[in-house]
Structure 1
């Protein structure tokens, strides 16, 4: 960034942000290591450190020793104080709400969850999320004043301001301003995203897709939806509706969930019972699984052919079947796609959305800490 007009105040903020970013990216650094990393004068780094220590963003730590007696005074060593604040991540779904609290380096400090009914009124669903966030903070022995940001993942199409623009799953959810509803009780900025998109972010950050820059996440459960990451970033689309092909009959996704129900002679059944029966070789269950894989693969192939991702991660309740589901999917995708695509199961399970929301809130905090504008 260019400093215009020799603005010394701006220059000091830039130097402080650079020092803080370097500390954030390491366990700890000596003064010499910081000077080498940032490329400014030693006195400049010392001045920046003094201010960061006074603001409790950094602290001096004991020198690292290997047990041998060192000659002379050990070098001063500093670290970023991840405990200088915390973030919250929420998964507000149709059947559950999950709240996760993490420090400023993303270490999870606690979580709380509760079951909710799909027909719960919006005001009560929001109240349950607020209460759960406070419970998570109390469980981690943290005051609400420590919250620097909150991230929220929820069903539906969400715009950049945090308003749910369209939701077919939850009655009355369309038009809810989640950024405002959760910002006041925690006195912190709130960022909101679609749950499946944040599940993709969670898997990229802490799950099955940490090595992939371009990936597709498929939620396979009572509904089927997709989340897309391009170059490591969630792809929202112009209206926040990227990947929303589940309503398109040709995708196969509208009919797929029904394949998991009513497959037995009694006309009853569920996904768990289906996969249990597949393991025993039940021909009815095997046929139902084949039809489900046909439908699911059709939509996945359409998105894979559009995006050419490195990896496809399958999450949601049905992903617990593992290779019973993934093997037939792999065969179908091999037939339908131009190139083989790696297909794996989620590593985060039903925590993927909340952890993606944590990552989203950390991104907001880090922009505040590390990016300096002349207008700041």
Structure 2
């Protein structure tokens, strides 16, 4: 927890962190409710509140006026100031960059997107992300000094330090230190993760997987990839490569998108055109979708048998097919897997990665605010 001033007492910092955590989880609480929730003396809570109000993390709010007034003064009521700062979440992909800014409780304040080319040099891609981040902040009436943390989801294998270790979609993205590249312009801590993993995190936070803890997320679009949550947390693996079964030709994932989009025999098409043709009963489109379901099911079944997740979420552009794709996938997974597994479409669409990045950045802020060590 970041506590300024001369507060050198570990116990006082622990009490302040406890008060802040309880207020963060509530709309607002009275002093009496805080004392009851934390289980310490009233004077201890009052002292903690004094320091938190001075640091602008907490404020006293006006008493509720819609309730019948009792005898005496109304009880003091306090709230966590979600507007005391903000966080940024980025989705930096091969074809687009999306930035989302939220307050410290995750309320979206603004978002902006820009298109980029896969061949754009890494330095220019980073510059585009920085510029978009500043524009997003300005559009929400905020400044870079308001940013408390930054989260980034990007294509490729990313290590724990925020360095892209391997990227095949973006030519010179391998070796880029994204954490360092975005730390300086916003003067805030940065957390970076693989985009598909963060899409899974976003779905669990605000999307289709809010009730599940063990989640397999499948991105089905120009590429097929997987992200894994175990006990609600991203499982990246030792090298950040967990779930990268798409590198195996036997999974059928590397060639699946090309076969799907080339269903008409007239070169590359688009997924929406395919879905329209399926709804119209075009036999070539129906056959292509069936083959695509076969291709997806190979890898999904292998991961389901390995992880035994509660839920599979299908995202990416092809997920827009809805039941046209989900129904045949369900049938194939039932044939391949030992136990039934629920499979649903993404609720967040192309915002899942950026919102997962927001969640990652909020975790950084909450860790700093609520966790206290004797060395602080």
Same fold (TM over 0.5): yes
User: Quick one: structure 1 residues 30 and 67, their matched pair in 2 at CA, closer, same or farther if it must change by over 3 Å?
Assistant: closer
Provide the C-alpha distance between the structure 1 equivalents of 2:22 and 2:268, rounded to a whole number of angstroms. Answer: 58
1:101 corresponds in structure 2 to 101
Displacement after TM superposition at 1:275 (Å) = 1.1
Provide the C-alpha distance between the structure 1 equivalents of 2:42 and 2:84, rounded to a whole number of angstroms. Answer: 25
1:246 alignment partner, SS class: helix
Higher mean C-alpha deviation, range 254-263 or range 354-363: 254-263
Residue 259 of structure 1 contacts residue 289 of structure 1 at CA under 8 Å; is this kept in 2? Answer: no
2:297 corresponds in structure 1 to 297
Residue 149 of structure 1 contacts residue 189 of structure 1 at CA under 8 Å; is this kept in 2? Answer: yes
Provide the C-alpha distance between the structure 2 equivalents of 1:194 and 1:136, rounded to a whole number of angstroms. Answer: 22
User: Quick one: structure 1 residues 169 and 266, their matched pair in 2 at CA, closer, same or farther if it must change by over 3 Å?
Assistant: closer
1:252 corresponds in structure 2 to 252
1:52 corresponds in structure 2 to 52
Displacement after TM superposition at 1:236 (Å) = 0.8
1:168 corresponds in structure 2 to 168
Provide the C-alpha distance between the structure 1 equivalents of 2:267 and 2:185, rounded to a whole number of angstroms. Answer: 47
Displacement after TM superposition at 1:65 (Å) = 3.5
1:39 corresponds in structure 2 to 39
Q: How does 1:221-370 map to 2 (within 5 A)?
A: 221-370=221-370
Residue 258 of structure 2 contacts residue 268 of structure 2 at CA under 8 Å; is this kept in 1? Answer: no
Q: 2:130 matched to 1:153?
A: no
Provide the C-alpha distance between the structure 2 equivalents of 1:328 and 1:243, rounded to a whole number of angstroms. Answer: 23
1:68 alignment partner, SS class: coil
Q: How many residues get paired?
A: 370
1:290 alignment partner, SS class: helix
Provide the C-alpha distance between the structure 1 equivalents of 2:336 and 2:212, rounded to a whole number of angstroms. Answer: 22
1:4 corresponds in structure 2 to none
Displacement after TM superposition at 1:70 (Å) = 2.2
Displacement after TM superposition at 1:69 (Å) = 2.9
Q: 2:151 matched to 1:144?
A: no
1:9 corresponds in structure 2 to 9
Residue 151 of structure 2 contacts residue 358 of structure 2 at CA under 8 Å; is this kept in 1? Answer: yes
Residue 293 of structure 1 contacts residue 325 of structure 1 at CA under 8 Å; is this kept in 2? Answer: yes
Deviations 1:342-368 (A, max 9, x none): 110000000000000000000000000
Moved over 4 A (4+): none
Tell me, which stretches of 5 or more residues in structure 2 are unaligned? 1-6
Provide the C-alpha distance between the structure 1 equivalents of 2:8 and 2:92, rounded to a whole number of angstroms. Answer: 45
1:123 alignment partner, SS class: helix
Displacement after TM superposition at 1:67 (Å) = 4.2
Displacement after TM superposition at 1:143 (Å) = 1.3
2:131 corresponds in structure 1 to 131
Provide the C-alpha distance between the structure 1 equivalents of 2:371 and 2:172, rounded to a whole number of angstroms. Answer: 38
Displacement after TM superposition at 1:156 (Å) = 0.4
2:264 alignment partner, SS class: coil
Deviations 1:211-251 (A, max 9, x none): 00111100000000000111110111111111010010111
Higher mean C-alpha deviation, range 268-277 or range 171-180: 268-277
2:3 corresponds in structure 1 to none
User: Quick one: structure 1 residues 268 and 192, their matched pair in 2 at CA, closer, same or farther if it must change by over 3 Å?
Assistant: closer
Provide the C-alpha distance between the structure 2 equivalents of 1:265 and 1:374, rounded to a whole number of angstroms. Answer: 66
Provide the C-alpha distance between the structure 2 equivalents of 1:157 and 1:267, rounded to a whole number of angstroms. Answer: 30
Residue 262 of structure 2 contacts residue 268 of structure 2 at CA under 8 Å; is this kept in 1? Answer: yes
Deviations 1:158-208 (A, max 9, x none): 001000001111011000000000000001111000000000000000000
Residue 97 of structure 1 contacts residue 114 of structure 1 at CA under 8 Å; is this kept in 2? Answer: yes
Tell me, which stretches of 5 or more residues in structure 1 are unaligned? 1-6
